[in-house]
Structure 1
Amino acid sequence: MTSTPNAAAPDVSGLSFEAAVDELEKIVARLERGDVALDQSIEIYERGEALKKHCETLLNAAENRIEKIRLDRAGKPAGVEPLDGE
Structure 2
Amino acid sequence: MVNAQSEPAGSRVSEALMMLEMEQRDVLLALHYGRLTVAEVATQFDISPALVSRRALAALRSLRRLLDQGAQAPERL
User: Which structure shows the higher strand fraction?
Assistant: 1
Which TM-score applies when normalising by structure 2? Answer: 0.43
Q: Greater CA radius of gyration, 1 or 2? A: 1
User: Which structure shows the higher helix fraction?
Assistant: 2
Greater relative CO (CA pairs within 8 A, separation 6+) = 2
Which TM-score applies when normalising by structure 1? Answer: 0.40
